[in-house]
Structure formats: structure tokens, C-alpha cells
Amino acid sequence: MPYCLYLRKSRADLDAEARGEGETLARHEKTLLELSRRQAFEIREIYREIVSGETIAARPVMQRLLSEVEHGIWDGVLVMEVERLARGDTIDQGIVAQTFKFSGTKIITPMKIYDPNNEYDEEYFEFGLFMSRREYKTINRRLQRGRVASVMEGKYNGSRPPYGYRRVKIENDRGYTLQPDEEQAPIVELIFSLYAFGEKTIDGGTEETGISKIARKLNNLKIPSAKGGDWTVASLQTMLRNPVYIGKIRWNARPVQKKMEDGQMVKTRPRAKPEDWILKDGLHPALIDEKTWEAVQLRLRENPSRPCPRKYETQNPLAGLVVCGICGRKMVRRPQKGKNSATLMCPAPTCRNISCRLDCAEEKILLALCGWLSDYRLTYETKTSHAPQSGFKKKALAKMICKRKELEKQQERIYEFFEQGVYTASIFQERLKKIQEQMDCTEKGISQIQIEMEGAKSQSSKAELPRAEPVLARYQSGTPAEKNVLLKSVLKKVVYTKTVRARRNGTPDGFELILFPRLPQNRTDD
């Protein structure tokens, strides 16, 4: 049976590489390959995981490995330590342990071979996973304490510097600080000055300048933002509230919070209250004086942000679904005064995409969806689930593939023995004929299973089609929020583009819509 290698980096590996101990994955690969040669293991695949994820959901290579272990493709997996497989919570550790146990896949390390069917090996393996989780929590607590201590010393812990600064290494000390950027620092001073004191007019007076007007001014001057794109109201509001520009270091402004949604762990970063911040004097110079800062904060308090829209019901049935075809941003609903219909517009201030009536775009999407779904009417009954059969077929396919490779090796050895004179011509022909018959039988079995699996996959994909048809039947009677959920169940996104403005009293459409459905594309044989 074949074996594979699983290689993954950890934080300790990154520290070792920084000390000049060499590339981690290369050293581990060399060690495990030497182990496989001593034990005569046939290595068919090498998995390399560069991302350092806490959970299995954040490690795509690990997900692929577990899927193959589940289907019995590998007889064993070679790793440096069992801790490399799972350092997540008890759920992730249980998934790893149960997957290897039920499939009978061995875990091979340079120190020990773990047989999941052996009671003592199973307990030792589970204990190793428990200790790795404990070690992970200890390392994480140490890192968090180190970050807080660094903030108390006035150092900058962020990976990306704020606009107007450059992140530099502190000389003769650990950590980083900030230095003013020669090109961006004057822009920061201009933004704070315009919002605090306004813009001078031709007659010598001053005109009050809002955040939207500042964004338009910067975009008209072709001044790029921190990410190289357009300036927006949100980015300017974040800048005007950041105390880093008066020489402060702020920490814990947006702490990570974990919660469960639909059985999955989701990480969010809500904004914390100022009293929950850690605010200390930084080592970096200030770009804004105290007088300007206080004037800006006073005006921000007099013009508070609108309440969070999540507290209100959704009014846009296309929310989060329609994407601008020019800049790629999500299109938003803009209400109109009086009895005028709401419009669908791109929020980017410099985007050339022209808005349209929201109800008109919604109607066109429904018409396109109706025409598209009409091609998928089913004329047969959906068969039962193929999931149980699929698992057995995958295992059978994996075994047949392994058998084919063994037969190929046997065929090579027959030729070698014939060339060396071990086999006579008659024995050679007899053994070669038997091997070829077995190979032909194996090839037919592989082809048959692959055809059956493709057929089952086609049937299961078609079984999803009837679920989309009731969407249109329930659509008209739903609320905007319900309509939004229904559309997202059958559409990934809709790309909207309109570059020619309609004339007065002309047609309200004139735009292009590209639908990206969640269903499989139509085929000529359907």
C-alpha cells in the first residue's frame, strides 16, 4: 500500500529559520524520506502546508489529506510529530483521531509508529494531540502578553503602517516603530486641516469642508489612497479617529471575537469602546498637533455616524449580490425623495458606472433567471442519494489503482529476470501473459468504476435543479430580506455595467447584466 508525507510549518519553525537553521520543510522532508527508505515505504505524494491555521477549516491541504485518509487511499502518513496534524480544539482533534482510526491508516513519525487499531497507540496518540493543544494555548498567551508589553513600551505592533507613516525596525532593540512618509505625511496634514478649519475661499474667508467633499477633492487631485485606489468616506473617517497621528499607540480597538453560526466558528472584529482601548505614548513622531486633533474630534462628535443599518430591515433585495462591472465594488441602494423609485448605484465616487432604477434591475434579473432555469426542466425522477455508494467506489478505485502499479512493477521485474537469464523464453512468455491478463482485467475495472462515478456525479448535480424552481414562485410574495435570501440561493453574483446615460424620457434600462448562477452550466446532452 502507498504512503504519503505531510509537512507543516509552525511558529517555532519560523523562529528557527530566522536564526539561520535552514528551511523547515526541506529539512523535515529529507528526514522523512530517509525514514521511508529505511522502512521500505513507497511514497506517492508529499503534502506541504505553509499556512499556520488554528483549525482544520483554515488548512486546505489538511482537509484534502483527511478526505483521502477517510477513503482508505493511504496505508500510512509520515509526519515529524503528531502535533503537526492537529492543534485545534477538541472537535478538530476528534475528527483527526476518528478519521485515522476508522480507516486504519497508520501515523509514522521518526520516534514511533502509531497503529490506530492498537488500543495503547490510540491512547498515546490522543494524549499527544491534547498536549499539543495545551502547548498551543501556552504559546498564544505568551505572544499576547508580548504584544501588550510592546504596546506599553510605545512600539508599533501592526503589520501594515497607517497612511502617512512607514514601518521601520528599531535599532539595537526588538520591535518596530513608525517614521513619517515624505509623500504621504503632507496629505494627512491637509486632510485634518480641511476638516478642522475648512478651506479658504477667494474672498479670504473659510468654507466648511465635509468628509465627502474632502474625498472628492483628493480623488480629483489623483492622490491615491493607502491601497492605491479611490478615497472613500469610510477610510477618511477611520483616519480622522486614529490617535496614531498625535503620537499615540492604540491597541485592542478591534479585538477578535469568535462565535458559532450554522455550526461553523466565525471570527468577527467589532469596534471596541474607547474606554476599552490600551492607549500609550508611542516612540514615533506626531503628524498632527493637539489643537487640530481636538478640533477634528469635536466636529466628529457634532456629526455622529448614522446608526448601524443591521438594526433595520433590509430594503434592498439585491443587497450584496450585484457587483459593479467597472471597479468591482458591491452596488448599493440609494433612496430617492418623494415617490421616485430608489436607484442602484456604485458607491465609488470616481467610478464611471451609471446608476439605474432598482426595480428595473430587479425585473431584468428575474427575467434572465426565468429564461435560464427553463432549460433545466427535469423529465425523470431524482434517484436516491449516491453518497454511501460513492465512498465504497472511491475505496475500490484506490485499491485497483494500487494493484495496477504493483502489476507494472511485476512486469518490469519479469523483463529484468529475462534479460539476466533467470527466465527462459517459455517461462517469460507464460508469466508475461498472466500479468497482461491481470492488467487488462484491472484496467476494465478502473474504467467501469470511473464511468459509474461520473454518472452518479451527474445525477446528483441534476438533483439540485428542482430546488431552484420554487424560488421564482415564492419571490413575489416575500419581503426584500426574503427576496435577497432567495436570489442568493441560486445566484453567486450579478455583474452590472452601464456606460451610456439614457436620454430624457428614454428607456430606463440600457445596462448589461451578467449572471453567475450556483447551478451547473447547461450541456448539449441534457
**What pLDDT, on the 0 to 100 scale, is given for residue 159?**
84
pLDDT tens, residue by residue, 183-208: 999 999 999 999 988 887 767 677 77
Least confident of 50-59, 202-211, 428-437: 50-59
Would you state the pLDDT for residue 437?
81
Q: Give me the numbers of helices (H) and strands (E) for the chain, helices first please.
A: 14, 19
Q: Parallel, antiparallel, or unpaired: how do β-strands 176-180 and 165-169 relate?
A: antiparallel
Q: What's the pLDDT band for 247 if we cut at 50, 70, 90?
A: very high
70-116 tens-digit pLDDT: 888 888 999 988 778 876 667 777 788 888 888 888 888 888 888 87
Residue, of 374 and 253, whose pLDDT is higher: 253
Say yes or no to pLDDT of 262 above 70. no
Three-class SS string for 115-145?
A: CCCCHHHHHHHHHHHHHHHHHHHHHHHHHHH
pLDDT for 516 beyond 60: yes
Mean pLDDT of 324-352: 84
The helix or strand, by DSSP H or E, that contains position 181, with its residue range, turns out to be none
d(CA 62, CA 77): 12
pLDDT, position 246: 93
Calculate ∠ Cα 492-258-83, nearest 5°. Answer: 100
> Quick check: 198 and 189 in contact, CB under 8 A?
no
For 3-152, CATH gives: 3.40.50.1390
Choose the weakest-confidence range: 303-312, 314-323, 372-381, 487-496. Answer: 372-381
Whether the predicted pLDDT of 390 surpasses 70 = no
Query: What is residue 229's DSSP assignment?
Result: S
C-alpha cell at 223: 492622490
Higher pLDDT, 11 or 333: 333
**210 confidence band (pLDDT: 50, 70, 90):** confident
Q: Which of 229-238, 253-262, 367-376, 477-486 has the highest average model confidence (pLDDT)?
A: 229-238
Q: Is the pLDDT of residue 459 over 70?
A: no
Residue 382 pLDDT class (50, 70, 90 cuts)? very low
Residue range 249-260: average pLDDT? 82
Angstrom CA distances, 60 to 11, 55, 66, 81, 131, stand at: 18, 10, 10, 19, 23
- Count of beta carbons in the 10 Å neighbourhood of residue 284: 24
Position 182 pLDDT exceeds 60: yes
Give the model's confidence band at 284: pLDDT under 50 very low, under 70 low, under 90 confident, else very high. very high
Cell numbers that stand for 478 in this block = 416575500
pLDDT at 526: 33
The pLDDT score that the predictor gives to residue 505 is: 53
518 pLDDT exceeds 90?
no
Q: What grid cell was written down for 46?
A: 508529499
Three-point CA angle 315, 316, 321, nearest 5°? 150
* CA 221/CA 32 separation, integer angstroms: 58
Rounded CA-CA distance 388/403 in Å is 23
Q: Rounded mean pLDDT of 118-122?
A: 82
Identify the helix (H) or strand (E) that includes residue 280: strand 278-281
3-state secondary structure 476-516: CCCCHHHHHHHHHHHEEEEEEECCCCCCCCCCCCCCEEEEE
Strand partners, 251: 278
CATH numeric code, 165-305: 3.90.1750.20
Residue 161 has pLDDT above 80, yes or no: yes
Residue at grid coordinates 515529524: 80
Confidence tier at 383 by pLDDT (50, 70, 90): very low
Domain segments of the chain as ranges: 3-152, 165-305, 322-377+467-517, 387-449
pTM score: 0.58
Confidence category of residue 26, pLDDT binned at 50, 70, 90: confident
Has residue 335 got a pLDDT over 70? Answer: yes
Q: What is the mean pLDDT of the chain?
A: 79
How does DSSP assign 431-466, residue by residue? Answer: HHHHHHHHHHHHHHHHHHHHHHHHHHHHHHHHHTHH
Q: Is the Cβ–Cβ distance between 282 and 177 less than 8 Å?
A: yes
Residue predicted with more confidence, 90 or 14: 90
* Sign, Cα dihedral of 235, 238, 241, 246: negative
Across the range 28-40, mean pLDDT stands at: 88
